[in-house]
A and B are shown apart, each in its own frame.
Chain A
Amino acid sequence: MKILICGGDSEADYVIKSFKKDKDKIVVFNDDAKVAKRLSETNDIDVLLSDPMKIYSFESGDVFGFDLVISLMSRDVDNFVVCQIAKTLFHIKKAICTVNNPNNVAIFEELGIDSPISASFLLTERIKGESDIESLIKTLSLENQKIVITEIKIKSRFFCSGKAIKDLNFPRVGNICCIFRDPKVIIPRGDTTLMEGDTLVIASGPKDQNEVIAFVKRVDDGN
């Protein structure tokens, strides 16, 4: 994979190290001489001392058609423009950037940025996920919250405990991807019986998560 990393300091360092392990081709733009020198020396990589906001930086970096741009500038609008230059002019396939204002996550997505990432937004989503439901349920969001993975531990009082999946009439909006039955991981089939202590890993859309959780946690027999 060919990756362009724009701006940033310690976060750029972390990203460079992560991708360098996988032997990806990495090009780095940074307009801070001290940071650029440090990134270059500690990662043994060429860093272009150039302003990522300028189109000539992209031209000198020869990044046309790269797979990914990661913009780590300090201002949201700068990250937006870096991603726009990358995608519009240099046909970089995917744009990821950080945003300070969590409200900009939706706006950036609306304007074509593939993955705007806000620490506050992620934190809030995580807290919501943890507090909306009981502690025996964990959630993980993928693809910018478009897919939600929910883990639910089966209790003996749940109506589904002791029943085969095919007999549950499980909601069509969710799918049990796997079952963890310590120490085994089970790929479920229709005739797999759910047992107390099983951890179900369920994929669904975020809107449907509550329906899926409510279904699994039902204590009556569903009639």
Chain B
Amino acid sequence: MKKKVNNKMTLVIGSSRLGAAIANVNSDEGVYTSIIDKNEAAFKKVDSSYSGFFIVGNAEEYSSLLKAHIEEATEVDVVTGDDDTNIFVALLVVKRFPEMKVIVRLHDEKKRILLDHPHISIISPSSLSLETYMTIRQGGKN
């Protein structure tokens, strides 16, 4: 493992392309990282240089989150491909760990209101795409 920084630990839930990329970035920066997915094959998206935990498990089950070291985490990134799973897991995490920083990917922008919590931040692919589109349309560069 690389030298770790600031006693930070990130738990990534869902080894989607985004999840794998987040795990790679954190690992490269020397942050302790754990990534969980119910499908072991999904970990193929993570770089071979990744230095952290791989946990096979269903994040909808609290016991799997414990297995994935959530109790040591300082940040949880909930980025499975399923909005409803992400909403459920994010609300469960902030309920059990009220000070946890939680970042959630949400495709359905209208469900943002369900995650109205001071420690939850939302990544919305549609909003980000729209922003990029507007930038390009106004003559900016992507």
Most buried by A among B62, B82, B87, B88: B88
**Chain B, 96-120, CB within 8 A of any chain A CB:** 108, 110-111, 113-114
Q: Say yes or no: B91 contacts A111, CB within 8 Å.
A: yes
Rounded to whole Å, the gap between the CB of A31 and the closest CB of chain B is: 14
Residues of B within 8 A of A78 (CB): 84
Q: Would you mind naming 23 contact pairs between A and B with Cβ atoms under 8 Å apart?
A: A53-B84, A54-B108, A55-B111, A76-B88, A77-B82, A77-B85, A77-B87, A78-B84, A80-B84, A80-B88, A81-B83, A81-B84, A81-B87, A81-B111, A85-B111, A85-B114, A88-B113, A89-B114, A107-B62, A110-B95, A111-B91, A111-B92, A111-B95
Extra inter-chain contacts (17) besides given A89-B114, A103-B62, A111-B95, CB under 8 Å: A53-B84, A54-B108, A54-B110, A55-B110, A75-B84, A77-B60, A77-B82, A77-B87, A81-B87, A81-B88, A81-B111, A81-B114, A84-B91, A85-B111, A103-B63, A107-B92, A110-B95
* CA A88 to CA B110, docked complex, whole Å: 13
* CA A103 to CA B64, docked complex, whole Å: 12
Residues of A within 8 A of B91 (CB): 84, 111
The chain A residues found within 8 Å of chain B, CB to CB, are 53-56, 75-78, 80-81, 84-85, 88-89, 101, 103, 107, 110-111
Q: How many A-B residue pairs have CB under 8 A?
A: 46
* CA A124 to CA B61, docked complex, whole Å: 19
Residue of A nearest to B63 (CB): A103
Rounded to whole Å, the gap between the CB of B77 and the closest CB of chain A is: 18
Q: Say yes or no: B114 contacts A84, CB within 8 Å.
A: yes
Residue of A nearest to B86 (CB): A77
A-B complex: 10 closest residue pairs judged by Cβ atoms:
A77-B88, A81-B84, A77-B84, A55-B110, A80-B88, A77-B85, A84-B114, A78-B84, A81-B87, A111-B91
Q: Say yes or no: A84 contacts B92, CB within 8 Å.
A: no
Residue of A nearest to B60 (CB): A77
Q: Classify chain B's interface size.
A: 10 to 19
Residues of B within 8 A of A107 (CB): 62, 92
Rounded to whole Å, the gap between the CB of B122 and the closest CB of chain A is: 15
Residue of B nearest to A78 (CB): B84
Residues of A within 8 A of B88 (CB): 76-77, 80-81
Rounded to whole Å, the gap between the CB of A85 and the closest CB of chain B is: 7
* CA A147 to CA B108, docked complex, whole Å: 40
* CA A54 to CA B107, docked complex, whole Å: 12
* CA A97 to CA B23, docked complex, whole Å: 35
Q: Say yes or no: A103 contacts B61, CB within 8 Å.
A: yes
Residues of B within 8 A of A88 (CB): 113-114
Rounded to whole Å, the gap between the CB of B66 and the closest CB of chain A is: 12
Chain B positions 62 through 92: 1 when the CB is less than 8 Å from some CB of chain A, otherwise 0: 1100000000000000000011110110011
Chain B positions 15 through 34: 1 when the CB is less than 8 Å from some CB of chain A, otherwise 0: 00000000000000000000
Residues of B within 8 A of A75 (CB): 84
Rounded to whole Å, the gap between the CB of B90 and the closest CB of chain A is: 11
Residues of B within 8 A of A84 (CB): 87, 91, 114
Residues of A within 8 A of B83 (CB): 81
Rounded to whole Å, the gap between the CB of A74 and the closest CB of chain B is: 12
Rounded to whole Å, the gap between the CB of B70 and the closest CB of chain A is: 14
